[in-house]
Amino acid sequence: MALSANSAPIELADPATLTDAITLIVSAGPHGTTLSLVTSRSLLSKHSKYFHQLFTDTGSPHYVPPSQSSFQIGFTDPESFRILLSIYHLQDGTQNPNTITIIPGYLEHSTIHSLAHLLLSRKFDHAENSFLRTYLLKWVNAIQADNEYARQNPDAPDRKSRDPRALFIYWVFRAEDAFRRETRFWMPRMYKERSATGNGDTYRSGYRCHMRGSRVLGREGISEAAGGVDVVKPFEDLPEWVGEKVWDERCAVLNRLVGLIRNIYGALKTSCDFSAGYSALGQLVYEHTFVCGHESIQCDFQHFGCMSSLLMRLHLYPSDYLPTPYGLSLQLDKFSLIGIREILRTHPRPASPEGHVDFDVLGRLEREVLPESFYGLGLDGKRCKVPVSVLDAAVRVHLQMGGGPEGLNWGD
């Protein structure tokens, strides 16, 4: 319900029972929407620490005395204020039946995002209010259904792109399972960009993710034919520690990968170094250690060339030695894990001799960044393995009843 600045006040409270009326004028700015909401002082004070202080702290410069019948407050989305106060009036049984009839079970994501900011900034009791949480979790389920439908139907005309704001919404709404799944989704898509000031490990841009429609890939994993990518910041509104914790999980996967790269590259280089293993006539000087299980120097040479070109593609130019796994990880900060996995998947395989198909170095590396190795993050910051085939039953119902087709594959 969008009203102009000159619209009549909306009486959310029942006039017959209202004894402490106050008109809350919520304005989105000089060029935005303004709503005048007639509500109750006691209701605002009961459900919001912010308003409780406004109405009781006589020493505050923002104190609103009982004699003041209205006051103005700025907020980017006044409609979210109306929805939230309507829920509280329904909860307390003080709703005006002429203006509050039903709270929508589905809202636009932008409205839900505004509600999340409203709950935090005005210190409402959303975490412990079970009545309000029934609505919050309905909206959480609707967002999950939209995201899942987008993932499984990338070419559908009614598809909505995965919403990066969902992570913040789940955190504010204390939706534990949804938050774990969302952190698990974004973790392998994270990357960093060094600040323009070159200030060591300080990153001006924070954590970013690459996204193209419902597919999300790292920068080097996108072919020219694939089109452009969107850069999104799902961690932007969250406390800094959330992004740091998820980044730590990314580093745990990456450290295993780069440690394996370092070991394989070093072993292949040693095997292929003629001065270490062979005389000028090609005669064995001392016992040679092959990487190939079939002890084929040809196979080792081909895989050494493959690994060298892979390192160059990852901007890790091969040299006489590679940095430590930690040093390698830092150099790979600009890649997402999914981008690295795409590089490993598409990198040309060496033409190994017949019968050596079991020697697949790139396949071994690729398995290190498969989804099974990714962990989600709980609201408390603890890592948690997320079931790959489970979503809330309510999300299934939402999809089956109109949010999308039945019989979808629910794997991550």
Could you report the per-residue pLDDT of 227-270, keeping only the tens digit for each? Answer: 445 677 888 889 888 888 888 888 888 888 888 888 888 888 88
Neighbours of 183 (CB within 10 A): 28
The percentage of residues in the chain with a pLDDT greater than 90, rounded to a whole number, is 22
68: pLDDT strictly greater than 70? yes
The percentage of residues in the chain with a pLDDT greater than 70, rounded to a whole number, is 72
**Both tokens of residue 305?**
């060339």
Lowest mean pLDDT segment, chosen from 18-22, 152-156, 194-198: 194-198
CB within 8 Å of 245: residues ≥ 6 apart: 377, 381
Neighbours of 46 (CB within 10 A): 14
The length of the chain is 412
114: pLDDT strictly greater than 90? yes
145, 403 contact by CB (below 8 A): yes
37: pLDDT strictly greater than 90? yes
Higher pLDDT, 84 or 30: 84
Question: Sign of the CA dihedral 326, 331, 336, 338?
Answer: negative
Q: What is the mean pLDDT of the chain?
A: 76
**Both tokens of residue 103?**
């709270």
Q: With residue 277 as reference, give the H or E element that holds it.
A: helix 274-277
CB within 8 Å of 330: residues ≥ 6 apart: 201
pLDDT of residue 38: 92
Between CA 193 and CA 205 the distance in angstroms is 6
CB within 8 Å of 237: residues ≥ 6 apart: 117, 165, 168
Distance between alpha carbon 82 and the CA centroid of its chain, in Å?
Answer: 28
Per-residue model confidence as pLDDT tens digits over 132-186: 999 999 999 888 888 877 777 766 666 566 788 899 999 999 998 899 988 988 8
Closest alpha carbon to 229 in 125, 339, 385: 339
Lowest mean pLDDT segment, chosen from 134-148, 198-212, 218-232: 218-232
User: Backbone dihedral region of 206: left (phi > 0), alpha (psi from -120 to 50 degrees) or beta?
Assistant: left
Higher pLDDT, 286 or 177: 177
CB within 8 Å of 114: residues ≥ 6 apart: 75, 76, 77, 79, 80
Q: Which amino acid is it at 294? A: H
pLDDT of residue 367: 85
Domains of the chain: 1-103 (3.30.710), 254-376 (no CATH)
132, 100 contact by CB (below 8 A): no
Strand 190-191: give its sheet, edge to edge: 190-191, 208-211, 230-232
Q: Give the start-end residues of each E strand in 335-401.
A: 376-377, 383-384
**Both tokens of residue 374?**
């990714």
**Both tokens of residue 306?**
């493959």
Phi and psi, residue 25, nearest 5° = -95, 105
196: pLDDT strictly greater than 80? no
CB within 8 Å of 412: residues ≥ 6 apart: 181, 184, 185, 371, 386, 388
pLDDT of residue 223: 33
Between CA 192 and CA 334 the distance in angstroms is 5
Tabulate helix, strand, coil % of the chain (nearest 5): 45, 10, 45
CB within 8 Å of 319: residues ≥ 6 apart: none
pLDDT of residue 157: 64
281: pLDDT strictly greater than 80? no
Per-residue model confidence as pLDDT tens digits over 365-412: 888 888 777 888 889 888 876 544 444 444 444 444 444 433 333 333
For Cα atoms 200, 202, 206, give the angle at the middle one, nearest 5 degrees.
Answer: 150
